[in-house]
């Protein structure tokens, strides 16, 4: 982009807006917000933020339910040159104490029901508190309503920070990923192009807006394309199917697709107006991909990203969307697979650590220079922590988180490989393989299996089916059954929860 132009994400989004009357957001209850409305609202919010003492470079933390005002708060924060810090609505006061203490925001916006508790936490870092409820009411919108809609967007450079998103922390303490204006803008513009977004698109937006998927991928891509989005506050399968005849794109986590498939109303006809189904944030089972194609005639487009890197890879728009693969590195993104110990690049099809480099990759972890340094190679590649491979055609495959690797009797066992074999057994819906402390083996390979309704599979039958398909050291020592796997809101299986639940499985009495 032009060196003298303002690199503020807000400017890049809206400075060349040609039709302010165009629809930007429709709410679940039918309210319509145009691009012009969005810009004017963000001006009011930005003026209000400044009146509350928010300065360029300050953090504005928000733990609010999904609403248009919530999205406007993000846009206004960025517009004012401050750094937006969204927080998962599930976090308790105890957890918020850590995030607020760590990020030291100058303003915290929360649901009125939490205001009392948050006041005490915010006071410790000298932050002010405003409220915003699910209906968009609270001191924030009251204050903003009186403010001027005109606001001169703060001048920002490409590398200045626009947001800090704490990693979901399914392993270890959450870290604040620092994302710059250009990290966000460049990635969204790449996706607009790659996924062929235009102003004719209507996105069904049923993701939360405190996470990179719903906030940046879904919202920024739609806004850059001048498309429209329909905001649903949660996954409502019937509502999504109702909306399909006037929508074109759905972005979801894998749970969206498995839940939609359970609904008999999901048919070719129901999806005939849709042009694109995107999945990410957690692995989409190849089985789900195939079932979706058979039922709807659409191949789900799976992509791979993370809080720290925005989106890294995507299956192609034209060309094969391969079940179980996350596609090619996006234009401008380099990806490689290395030996986790030595960092040496591996050949095609060899499993190792996925590393990425590009304008999408974050600026480091907030106030953790040592941690940041240890996660980057000297040549600038970020070590994702995901194990995977690149196949002979160039498709990237994710095998799982490095931290989920099981080491049994000194041998590495990739849970995904065992899970794939178990999932292929008739009567199995899905499975999770974990390592559980074991006196003889260090870790015992342990499978937690969800059976299909009515399936009579027992442990012995599963072990028998695996016999001969897996090397002895990869065979589960135990197979346990569960009604469902624990997942977080982004659809990720929480293996840490399983590891805790079965920690004593092999303990000697």
404: contact with ligand AMP by CB under 6 A: no
Site string for ligand AMP, 110-149 (x = CB under 6 A): ----------------------------------------
- Residue among 338, 312, 332, 339 at smallest CA distance from 395: 312
Contact 58, 49 (CB under 8 A): no
327: contact with ligand AMP by CB under 6 A: no
From 401, 469, 477, 478, residue interacting with ligand AMP (rule: CB under 6 A): 401
Between residue 61 and residue 120, which ones bind ligand AMP under the rule CB under 6 A?
none
Nearer to ligand AMP, 153 or 168 (CB): 168
Instruction: Classify residue 294 by burial, with Cβ atoms within 10 Å: 0-12, 13-18, 19+.
Output: exposed
Nearer to ligand AMP, 69 or 168 (CB): 168
By three-state DSSP, how is residue 97 classified?
Answer: helix
Nearer to ligand AMP, 386 or 419 (CB): 386
Phi/psi at 489 (nearest 5 deg)? -65, -20
Instruction: Classify residue 472 by burial, with Cβ atoms within 10 Å: 0-12, 13-18, 19+.
Output: exposed
Among 2-10, 300-308, 343-351, 428-436, the segment contacting ligand AMP (CB under 6 A): 300-308
Nearer to ligand AMP, 168 or 446 (CB): 168
Q: How far is CA 154 from CA 150, 441, 494, in A?
A: 12, 58, 40
Residue 23 pairs in a beta bridge with 34
Nearer to ligand AMP, 100 or 251 (CB): 251
Percentage helix, strand, coil, to 5, in the chain?
30, 25, 45
Between residue 155 and residue 174, which ones bind ligand AMP under the rule CB under 6 A?
167-168
Nearer to ligand AMP, 25 or 493 (CB): 493
Q: If DSSP states are collapsed to H, E and C, what string results for 7-48?
A: CCHHHHHHCCCCCCCCEEEECCCCCEEEHHHHHHHHHHHHHH
Between residue 212 and residue 241, which ones bind ligand AMP under the rule CB under 6 A?
212
326: contact with ligand AMP by CB under 6 A: yes
415: contact with ligand AMP by CB under 6 A: no
Strands 442-451 and 428-438: antiparallel
By three-state DSSP, how is residue 138 classified?
Answer: coil
Please report the DSSP string for 481-496 in residue order.
E-SS--B-TTS-B-HH
From 70, 86, 280, 352, residue interacting with ligand AMP (rule: CB under 6 A): 280
Nearer to ligand AMP, 69 or 309 (CB): 309
From 64, 89, 307, 489, residue interacting with ligand AMP (rule: CB under 6 A): 307
From 216, 304, 362, 441, residue interacting with ligand AMP (rule: CB under 6 A): 304
Contacts of 99 (CB under 8 A, 6+ apart): 61, 85, 87, 91, 166, 174
From 330, 398, 462, 493, residue interacting with ligand AMP (rule: CB under 6 A): 398
Among 138-146, 154-162, 299-307, 366-374, the segment contacting ligand AMP (CB under 6 A): 299-307
Nearer to ligand AMP, 176 or 283 (CB): 283
Residue 107 pairs in a beta bridge with 60, 128
d(CA 471, CA 476) in angstroms, rounded, equals 10
Q: How far is the CB of 149 from ligand AMP (least distance, A)?
A: 34
Among 49-57, 126-134, 281-289, 446-454, the segment contacting ligand AMP (CB under 6 A): 281-289
Site string for ligand AMP, 363-392 (x = CB under 6 A): ---------------------x-x------
Contact 316, 290 (CB under 8 A): no
Strands 428-438 and 176-180: unpaired
Strands 478-481 and 128-131: unpaired
Among 79-87, 279-287, 429-437, 439-447, the segment contacting ligand AMP (CB under 6 A): 279-287
Which residue do the tokens 């048919």 mark?
267
Cα dihedral sign, 364-368-369-371? negative
Contact 63, 134 (CB under 8 A): no
From 43, 105, 214, 283, residue interacting with ligand AMP (rule: CB under 6 A): 283
Nearer to ligand AMP, 138 or 415 (CB): 415
Q: How far is the CB of 397 from ligand AMP (least distance, A)?
A: 9
Strands 83-86 and 334-338: unpaired
Between residue 168 and residue 207, which ones bind ligand AMP under the rule CB under 6 A?
168
Nearer to ligand AMP, 48 or 304 (CB): 304
490: contact with ligand AMP by CB under 6 A: yes
Among 305-313, 344-352, 432-440, 462-470, the segment contacting ligand AMP (CB under 6 A): 305-313
From 71, 306, 330, 433, residue interacting with ligand AMP (rule: CB under 6 A): 306
- Residue among 402, 477, 472, 418 at smallest CA distance from 442: 477
Among 4-12, 76-84, 280-288, 498-506, the segment contacting ligand AMP (CB under 6 A): 280-288
Which spans of this chain sit near ligand AMP (rule: CB under 6 A)? 167-168, 212, 280-283, 302, 304-307, 326, 384, 386, 398, 401, 490
């Amino acid at each position: 982009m032009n060196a003298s132009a303002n690199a503020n994400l807000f400017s890049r989004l809206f400075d060349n807006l040609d039709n302010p009357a165009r629809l930007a957001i429709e709410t679940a209850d039918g309210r319509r917000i145009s691009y012009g409305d969005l810009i004017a609202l963000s001006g009011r919010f930005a003026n209000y933020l400044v009146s509350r003492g928010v300065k360029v470079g300050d953090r504005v933390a928000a733990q609010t339910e999904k609403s248009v005002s919530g999205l406007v708060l993000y846009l206004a924060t960025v517009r004012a040159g401050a750094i937006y810090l969204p927080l998962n609505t599930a976090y308790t006061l105890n957890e918020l104490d850590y995030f607020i203490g760590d990020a030291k925001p100058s303003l915290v916006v929360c649901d009125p029901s939490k205001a009392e508790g948050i006041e005490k936490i915010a006071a410790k870092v000298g932050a002010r508190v405003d409220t915003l409820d699910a209906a968009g009411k609270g001191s924030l919108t009251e204050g903003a309503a009186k403010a001027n809609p005109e606001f001169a967007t703060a001048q920002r450079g490409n590398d200045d920070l626009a947001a800090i998103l704490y990693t979901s922390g399914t392993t270890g303490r959450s870290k604040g990923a620092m994302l710059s204006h250009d990290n966000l803008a460049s990635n969204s513009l790449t996706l607009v192009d790659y996924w062929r977004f235009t102003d004719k698109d209507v996105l069904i937006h049923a993701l939360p807006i405190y996470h990179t998927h719903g906030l940046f991928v879904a919202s920024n891509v739609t806004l850059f394309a001048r498309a429209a989005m329909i905001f649903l506050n949660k996954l409502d399968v019937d509502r999504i199917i109702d909306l399909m005849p006037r929508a074109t794109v759905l972005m979801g986590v894998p749970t969206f697709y498995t839940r939609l498939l359970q609904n008999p109303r999901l048919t070719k006809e129901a999806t005939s107006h849709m042009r694109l189904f995107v999945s990410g944030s957690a692995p989409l089972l190849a089985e789900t991909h195939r079932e979706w194609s058979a039922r709807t005639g659409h191949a789900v487009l799976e992509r791979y990203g993370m809080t720290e890197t925005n989106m890294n890879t995507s299956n192609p728009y034209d060309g094969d969307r391969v079940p179980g693969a996350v596609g090619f590195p996006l234009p401008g993104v380099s990806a490689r697979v290395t030996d986790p110990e030595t960092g040496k690049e591996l050949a095609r099809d060899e499993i190792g650590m996925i590393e990425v480099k590009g304008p999408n990759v974050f600026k480091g972890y907030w106030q953790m220079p040592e941690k940041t340094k240890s996660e980057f190679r000297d040549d600038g590649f970020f070590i994702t922590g995901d194990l995977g491979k690149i196949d002979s055609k160039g498709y990237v495959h994710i095998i799982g988180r490095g931290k989920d690797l099981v080491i049994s009797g000194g041998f590495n066992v990739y849970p995904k490989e065992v899970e794939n074999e178990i999932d292929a057994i008739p009567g199995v819906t899905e499975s999770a393989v974990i390592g559980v402390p074991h006196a003889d083996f260090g870790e015992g390979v342990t499978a937690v299996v969800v059976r299909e309704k009515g399936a009579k599979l027992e442990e012995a039958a599963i072990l028998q089916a695996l016999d001969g398909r897996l090397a002895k050291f990869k065979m589960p020592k135990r197979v346990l059954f569960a009604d469902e796997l624990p997942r977080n809101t982004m659809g990720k299986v929480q293996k840490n929860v399983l590891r805790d639940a079965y920690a004593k499985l092999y303990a000697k009495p």
